[in-house]
């Protein structure tokens, strides 16, 4: 029996501090009060026009929830947001998946949800029809077991998905590792691509709970092809990933494993960790997150500002400590 829970070896003081941090988090969380479990009735005012959303069910004039989750109200719409559940795709979501089959004219991609396909891309630069030759050359683009990043484009009538990789951001992912976390930990946000510049690492948070940690890759515009650059780049691509970057990838990967084992939302942690965003929002919550992150790895550093300054260095440091102890316990498979 594999346990889903992960216990970190904290000493007594750390344990107490950690528990206090969690309590603080609990008291701060207002939404947890709205949580419902299956067949709890949802209080609604029936006089208002009401839209029953996902996870609700009406029995004899009473609105019941059909899943465990949190009641959300948007204008007239009442729905229950599930927590642990399979990923439900929405158009324009960014997902990371693994190619499992090369079929005719399309690749079958595993995104831990319904059936998903990626069609053979149109070559926009050269407007032309897809020929049988293109089909034969499909394996030059993606083969089985490749990790790809794509966007949800459309739903088919039979419930399957069509993915697209039109932008340069999408496509095959190489030199890194794929992690799987619960999908509800990745919120929909403006940016799912993060770059931790100080470490030279790219991070893609797929909405389906697949997370890619890999070596930083410069997105180049294909329209502007500079001859010198292109030769230079191809030379660079063939080179190996430096050891330091590999280490960083593993460290960041482990940090994600800790966070997901403690069921913390990953976006915040990583917008925090990537240097782009400034810390304006919920100071407490960030503090707790960072504490969680750092506590879990035995570093006693509490001052928020110093954490903000140090965080990108420390995440490497703290996951290094963590890595030593835990890698074998929580490796992905």
The residues that touch another protein, with contacts defined as CB under 8 A, are 1-5, 22, 25-26, 28-29, 31-32, 35-40, 55, 57, 66-70, 82-86, 114-115, 158-160, 184-185, 262-265, 268, 285, 288-289
Q: Distance between CA 296 and CA 10 in Å, rounded?
A: 7
Identify each DSSP E strand in 129-255 by its residue range: 147-155, 161-164, 171-173, 176-180, 193-196, 201-205, 210-215
Token digits for 107?
């690749």
Minimum Å gap between C-beta 167 and another protein is 27
Q: Cβ distance 99 to 145 under 8 Å?
A: yes
Q: Distance between CA 168 and CA 220 in Å, rounded?
A: 7
Minimum Å gap between C-beta 273 and another protein is 15
Give 70 or 279: the residue with its C-beta nearer to another protein: 70
Minimum Å gap between C-beta 112 and another protein is 8
Give 98 or 171: the residue with its C-beta nearer to another protein: 98
Give 68 or 138: the residue with its C-beta nearer to another protein: 68
Give 39 or 233: the residue with its C-beta nearer to another protein: 39
Q: Which of 42, 67, 47, 43 is nearest to 55 (CA)?
A: 67
Q: Which of 113, 114, 109, 96 is nearest to 210 (CA)?
A: 96
Minimum Å gap between C-beta 327 and another protein is 16
- Widest Cα–Cα separation across the chain: 72
| DSSP string over 297-326 | TT-----HHHHHHHHHHHHHHHHHHHHHHH
Give 89 or 171: the residue with its C-beta nearer to another protein: 89
Q: Cβ distance 213 to 187 under 8 Å?
A: no
Minimum Å gap between C-beta 194 and another protein is 18
Give 156 or 233: the residue with its C-beta nearer to another protein: 156
Signed CA dihedral, 238, 240, 244, 246: sign only: positive
Minimum Å gap between C-beta 31 and another protein is 5
Strands 77-82 and 51-52, bridge-based pairing? parallel
Give 37 or 167: the residue with its C-beta nearer to another protein: 37
Q: Distance between CA 154 and CA 49 in Å, rounded?
A: 31
Q: Distance between CA 293 and CA 282 in Å, rounded?
A: 17
Token digits for 174?
């190489």
Give 15 or 86: the residue with its C-beta nearer to another protein: 86
Minimum Å gap between C-beta 199 and another protein is 24
Minimum Å gap between C-beta 326 and another protein is 14
Could you tell me which residues are beta bridge partners of residue 161?
A: 116, 155
């Amino acid at each position: 029996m594999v346990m889903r829970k992960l216990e970190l070896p904290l000493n007594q003081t750390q344990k107490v501090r950690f528990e206090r941090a969690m309590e603080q988090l609990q008291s701060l969380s207002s939404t947890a009060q709205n949580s419902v479990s299956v067949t709890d009735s949802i209080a609604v005012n029936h006089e208002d026009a009401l839209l029953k959303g996902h996870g609700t069910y009406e029995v004899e004039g009473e609105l019941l929830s059909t899943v465990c989750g949190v009641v959300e109200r948007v204008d007239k719409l009442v729905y229950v947001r599930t927590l642990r559940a399979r990923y439900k795709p929405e158009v324009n979501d960014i997902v990371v998946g693994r190619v499992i089959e090369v079929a005719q004219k399309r690749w079958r991609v595993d995104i831990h949800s319904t059936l998903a396909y990626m069609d053979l891309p149109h070559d926009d630069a050269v407007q032309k029809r897809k020929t049988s030759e293109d089909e034969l050359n499909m394996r030059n683009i993606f083969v089985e077991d490749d990790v790809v990043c794509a966007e949800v484009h459309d739903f088919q009538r039979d419930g399957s998905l069509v993915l697209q990789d039109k932008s340069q951001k999408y496509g095959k992912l190489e030199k890194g590792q794929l992690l799987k976390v619960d999908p509800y930990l990745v919120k929909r946000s403006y940016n799912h691509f993060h770059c931790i510049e100080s470490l030279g690492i790219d991070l893609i948070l797929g909405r389906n709970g697949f997370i890619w940690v890999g070596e930083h890759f410069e997105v180049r515009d294909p329209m502007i092809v500079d001859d010198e650059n292109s030769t230079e780049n191809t030379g660079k691509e063939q080179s190996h990933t430096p050891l330091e970057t590999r280490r960083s990838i593993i460290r960041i990967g482990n940090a994600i494993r800790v966070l997901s084992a403690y069921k913390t939302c990953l976006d915040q942690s990583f917008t925090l960790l990537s240097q782009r965003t400034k810390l304006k929002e919920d100071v407490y919550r960030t503090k707790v997150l960072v504490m969680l992150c750092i506590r879990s790895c035995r570093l006693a550093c509490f001052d928020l500002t110093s954490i903000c300054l140090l965080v990108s260095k420390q995440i490497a440091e703290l996951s290094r400590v963590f890595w030593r102890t835990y890698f074998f316990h929580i490796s992905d498979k």
